[in-house]
A and B are shown apart, each in its own frame.
Chain A
Amino acid sequence: MIAGLQSYLLVSAILFFIGVAGVLTRKNIFIIFMSIELMLNAVNLTFISFSRFMNNLTGQAIVFLIIAVAAAEAAIGLSIVILIFKNKDSLSVDDFDVMKG
């Protein structure tokens, strides 16, 4: 048995949905944030496997740029977390329910 393209894609699908499960179930802002990072990483694995399979560098260039996007998003996301922690002193998404209707 030799690990082919399908096995890599399956691993990335599993990682992606572990990330989705984390976002859907957890209430801790930090862990939701990290689950989203895990989703992005799973996508990167898909890109790189396709890139290797097609012998085509586009996928790797895209991953390079996605990592930059993830870094930008991480910076913004963490500053949002810090902002609301300072104002509300809580890390739970459930505490943010001022608006209803």
Chain B
Amino acid sequence: MAANTIFFMIFSLVAIISGFVMITRRHPLSAALSLVVTFISLAGLYGLLAAKLLFIIQILVYAGAIMTLVIFSIMLLNVQEEDLPAEERIIERVSITTLILLPMIYIIGRSFTVIKDGQFPEVSQDFGTIHSVGMFLFTTYSFPFEVISILLLISLLGVVVLAKRRI
């Protein structure tokens, strides 16, 4: 087995298991921490797929910024044990739902069988680096990049409207 495959197995197993752990935790804080583990192992998968820039961004933005924001809000609200919704037998209920959804995974997975040769081709050293993705974003994808700026402005405005004490 190639080293790539071993790493793939480790990262994907960790991602799936900690993802499952995330949806079965009772307290949101422990769920958030296991989600961080999922994100970091996903970053590892991105690295295996030669997405060097996204590897960094996944750790910096997702595991770093977004999850910090989530954990910060959980701590800010000072969520106590009695604030949590009464949920009985979470693991059983989640497992049953997952079992019900298994056919969906099977149907989607079966559509992947049309890919005859799933081997990844050789790519140049430059593929997925900051330079190449940056060039792509600022030339071909300049329009969506500008559109994103509107989106961020709106979310800024929205947060001010929703969460400020008095507007």
Contacts and interface: CB of A to CB of B under 8 A. Distances in A.
A68 B98 contact: no
Chain A at the B interface: SS class: helix
Contact of B77 (A13, A41, A85): A85
Interface string B115-153: 101111101000110001100110011001100100110
A84 B122 CA distance: 51
Contacts of A52: 49-51, 120, 123, 127-128
A26 B109 contact: no
A16 to B, nearest CB: 8
Contacts, number: 242
User: Interface size bucket, A side?
Assistant: 35 or more
Contact of A22 (B94, B128, B136): B94
B49 A74 contact: no
Q: Is the interface of B mostly helix, strand, loop or mixed?
A: helix
Contact of B97 (A3, A24, A48, A76): A24
B85 A25 contact: no
B151 A34 contact: no
Contacts of A91: 28, 77, 79, 83-85
Contact of A41 (B62, B86, B159): B62
Contacts of A14: 16, 105
Interface residues of B, number: 85
B15 A17 contact: no
Given A10-B112, A26-B87, A65-B145, A38 B22 contact: yes
A71 B85 contact: no
A4 B141 contact: no
Contacts of B145: 65
Contacts of A27: 85, 87
20 contacts: A3-B4, A6-B112, A7-B12, A7-B118, A9-B109, A11-B15, A17-B98, A26-B23, A37-B66, A38-B35, A51-B51, A57-B127, A57-B136, A61-B136, A67-B58, A72-B154, A74-B69, A79-B162, A85-B77, A91-B28
The 6 closest A-B pairs by CB, nearest first: A4-B118, A92-B85, A22-B23, A30-B28, A72-B155, A5-B118
